[in-house]
Chain A
Amino acid sequence: MSQLAFWRSGSTRVLPGFGLSMGISVLFISLVLLLPITGLFGQLSELSLAEYFAIITEGRVVASYMVTIGAAAVAALVNAVFGLLLAWVLVRYEFPGKRLLDALMDLPFALPTAVAGITLATLYAGNGWVGNIIEPMGLQVAYTWVGIALAMAFTSIPFVVRTVQPVLEDLPAEVDEAAMSLGATDGVAFRRVIMPHLWPALVTGTGLAFVRSLGEFGAIIFIAGNMPYETEITALMIFVKLQEYDYAGASAIASVVLFVSLALLLAINIWQGRFVRRLHGGKG
């Protein structure tokens, strides 16, 4: 029925402009999203299946997966903790400079990632402000995977803060008060009353931060040191292949990143949708 109505809609639809706006949206998505992805697959068609697998399972490339996924996982977990804390502070307390801090949260989105990368590299290098304090203590950040994780954490923290923040705003302070009036300690109230509301958003935000970190390039290469098998990230491998004019090879590795990211995004979306329905009165 609904499909029929959709095709015969011209005269029955009340909101005007459906045809035009839908058409422009589809065109835009095609140009900006679908066309490049199709190009990617076009490149892949130059490879046989065996060649494809040889490229994506080459030792140096596999090592880069490990570095990327490991560092992204650490960055995402660190962001989960600190992102939650930041969101909590921004929603629950009033303090001078709150608006400024709130605006600063989006800086990693607005700042060119290369600028972030250079800044971090300068700060944490052996002669940098932070580097010359922590390196004598035996903590090496620049040119190790810790540096990679740091750069990833920097670029992806807004994902956690901005997904948790609205959910926390939606949770009235009365709910904490109710828990306390029933005798719950702060810890119990947080674990049993607040976290169950937050963790879907927290997992979503952390997942998005993780996916974002997988593809990050600009912020990382300056601080990573880029030693083969040690601190090379997958995005760099693609870049290296491109520099060698090996477009097919670059596309092969890119396709792996693309599939992993897409699969994760899809999983997050499906899972989140199910949870939201549950909370808002669908059948449990």
Chain B
Amino acid sequence: MSIRLQNIAKHFANTQALEPINLDIHEGELVGLLGPSGSGKTTLLRIIAGLENADRSPQPGKILFGDRDVTNVHVRDRRIGFVFQHYALFRHMSVYDNVAFGLTVMPKKRRPSNGEIRARVFRLLEMVQLQHLANRLPAQLSGGQQQRVSLARALAVEPDVLLLDEPFGALDAKVRQDLRRWLRRLHDELNFTSVFVTHDQEEALELSDRVVVMSNGRIEQIDTPDTLYRAPKNRFVFEFLGDVNHLEGRVRDGVLTCGDAHLNVDLPDGDEELLLRPHEVRLAEEPSAESHLPVTITAISPVGAEVRVELEADWLAKPWLATVRHADFERLHMRRGQRLFAHPRQWHRFKEDAKTPEQQARVA
């Protein structure tokens, strides 16, 4: 079922939680709402669910599931499944009863027979690989297991859309990784439309078909993870999607100067701020004709596919982060306190005026 939001706004008391928003989510899509806390992403999700009402004035908004207008439909009749960050399981009920709940509260006419409920619940428990724990109470399960129960519970009523509010936020990293993959598989298998909220860029980029980046109650960009990462529309999106190194300075005659550091750039004169991803910083023992950026290594973390190196210098307000290949790391004999030169492979620049974002990148 597709979801269409038209002109949805929300304010609490005096603060504007959501500015009027339009959003189309296609049938069968898995969409992530990504933003820092206070960006309005959870509010938006709760409005889609019907747990919160959008503002009626100045203009009433509209929410459509497929062709069905659900703007004024109560949450219990919207046919949604909602998964909460802290699971919100019914603590006094067994796992089985939790999953069966949505079926047993159906009005008599629509309610399946007991045998059918039983069959359906066990099918769902099998799907979330918890059939052996059907008689346990939620408190006897681990966090990951509880979240799977809560997912099975939401899917039991065969909702039109599945909404997940920071579904993995309360779990530790390893479990989170597993559940993420598992949810992606489940989504591909059952092909329901789902929207999930997260503040974790990695999670959003890995899991979603499309990501909606939000800040301050506004949608900053809607795109596929790939496009989002490669072509951020503005500075906020760029900075939010990963680690960023800043280089501030004054440009004169095609040279950007900042303390004893300088870099050849093809820009008009004036103050500039360039942004670099950690993988866009190359380290070498010598400066080049293009750039002279002396730095000192202050921390090294050799865990993972690449080595993360923290760099400091007098001309830097905040330390830089660079990722280097293990081979380069060994070749340069990197160690803490070592002085090297940074060479930007590429840099980005966004104009201050957010209305007309422009990104410039070039290979140095």
Contacts and interface: CB of A to CB of B under 8 A. Distances in A.
B105 A178 contact: no
A107 B137 CA distance: 40
A193 B139 CA distance: 16
A174 to B, nearest CB: 4
B49 interface: yes
A184 B51 CA distance: 14
A284 B137 contact: yes
A188 B107 CA distance: 11
Contacts of B139: 279-281
Most chain B Cβ neighbours within 10 Å, of A181, A193, A197: A181
A45 interface: no
Interface string B27-49: 00000000000000000000001
Contact of A181 (B76, B93, B135, B136): B76
A284 B138 CA distance: 11
How many residues of A sit at the interface, in one of the four size bands? 20 to 34
B321 to A, nearest CB: 37
A182 B90 CA distance: 12
Nearest to B153: A182
A197 B75 contact: no
A183 B82 contact: no
Given A182-B102, A188-B105, A279-B139, A177 B90 contact: no
Contacts of B84: 174, 177-178
A278 B137 CA distance: 9
Nearest to A281: B139
Nearest to A171: B91
A92 interface: no
A177 B75 contact: yes
Interface of B: 49, 51, 74-77, 80-82, 84, 86, 88-94, 101-102, 105-106, 135-137, 139-140, 150, 153-154, 156-157
Most chain B Cβ neighbours within 10 Å, of A178, A180, A184, A192: A178
8 contacts: A179-B90, A180-B75, A182-B157, A183-B77, A184-B76, A185-B105, A192-B90, A279-B91
Contacts of A281: 137, 139-140
Most chain A Cβ neighbours within 10 Å, of B49, B77, B82, B135: B82
Given A182-B102, A279-B139, A174 B153 contact: no
A42 to B, nearest CB: 47
A177 B106 contact: no
Most chain A Cβ neighbours within 10 Å, of B82, B93, B101: B101
B88 A178 contact: yes
A180 B51 CA distance: 9
Interface string A124-149: 00000000000000000000000000
A167 to B, nearest CB: 12
A197 B76 contact: no
